[in-house]
Chains A and B, each alone.
Chain A
Amino acid sequence: ELKVEQNPLFLSMQEGKNYTIYCNYSTTSDRLYWYRQDPGKSLESLFVLLSNGAVKQEGRLMASLDTKARLSTLHITAAVHDLSATYFCGPGGGNALTFGSGTRLQVQP
């Protein structure tokens, strides 16, 4: 059974700071998705990582994938309040897609 572990589960950070969210998964997967969820809202796709070594950047967020280590990271650069949300990672491949517990990010002014 595919298990997904996100660290940390909760992150409170100040505006302007950098931080990384980690997503570890237990079995081989050839792709990885990151989603954002605002309170009371649905999930919005952020990144689709399709190969080992894939790196994607959008604004202050950068995601990377290491399929050999079964690890993906979501790096936040110079955080701003608008990034406050819950972030989910989800390894996929074949017919499988399992989500982590989510990382609740709170950016303080």
Chain B
Amino acid sequence: KAGVTQTPRYLIKTRGQQVTLSCSPISGHRSVSWYQQTPGQGLQFLFEYFSETQRNKGNFPGRFSGRQFSNSRSEMNVSTLELGDSALYLCASSLVTRSDEQYFGPGTRLTVT
């Protein structure tokens, strides 16, 4: 069974730009969650999608958004990038809910300059 895939793996952007990250969950998994990991703030929950609907949202500004497609693939978008958005963005998929066992993708390392 293929694991969770994320693209791109590395990204360098400039302040003010926007970025879109993609996540393909494990086949059959319907819940996709996104996390931001930074050395200072640790692992923080961004949002969760299920059946193309955002089910839960963490405490992040509206610049962070996401969506899920009918095949469960998900994208997250960050607009008007700030230096503090530099982080490892992890996507995790689970069968139904975020509290089922989560399987993490390799992450996208975003650097904002």
Number of A-B pairs, beta carbon distance below 8 Å: 48
With contacts A99-B42, A99-B43 known, is A31 near B99, CB below 8 A? yes
CB-CB under 8 A for A42 and B45, given A31-B99, A96-B98: no
B45 A43 Cβ-Cβ under 8 A: no
Cβ of B98 and Cβ of A33 under 8 Å apart?
Answer: no
Q: Are B55 and A33 in contact (CB under 8 A)?
A: no
**Once the chains bind, are A33 and B101 in contact (CB under 8 Å)?**
yes
Closest residue on chain A to residue B55 by CB atoms:
A95
Given contacts A42-B104, A43-B104, A44-B104, contact A98 B99 (CB under 8 A): no
B71 adjacent to chain A (CB < 8 Å): no
Q: Is A95's CB under 8 angstroms from B107's CB? A: no
Chain A residue contacts of B17, Cβ below 8 A: none
The B interface is mostly helix, strand or loop, or mixed, namely strand
Assess whether B103 is interfacial by the CB under 8 Å rule.
Answer: yes
A55 within 8 A of B: no
The residues of A that contact B107 with a CB separation of less than 8 Å are 41-42
Q: Across the interface, do B102 and A42 meet the contact criterion of CB distance under 8 Å?
A: no
Whole-angstrom distance between the Cβ of B91 and the nearest chain A Cβ: 9
B105: Cβ under 8 A from any A Cβ:
yes
Are A95 and B102 touching (Cβ within 8 A)?
A: no
Q: Could you tell me the distance between the alpha carbons of A48 and B102 in the complex, rounded to whole angstroms?
A: 10
| Alpha-carbon distance between A13 and B85 when the two chains are bound, in angstroms | 34
Known A-B contacts A41-B106, A45-B103; the reply to A95 vs B98 at CB < 8 A is yes
Q: Is the Cβ of B99 less than 8 Å from the Cβ of A42?
A: no
In whole Å, how far is A29's beta carbon from the nearest beta carbon of chain B? 9
- Contact: A102 with B98, CB < 8 Å? no
Partner of B90, one of A43, A48, A97, A101: A43
Q: A31-B99, A48-B101, A92-B99 are in contact. Are A97 and B45 (CB under 8 A)?
A: yes
Say yes or no: A101-B42 contact (C-beta < 8 A), given A42-B104, A43-B104, A45-B103.
Answer: yes
Which residues in chain A, 16-54, are within 8 Å of chain B measured between CB atoms? 31, 33, 35, 41-45, 48
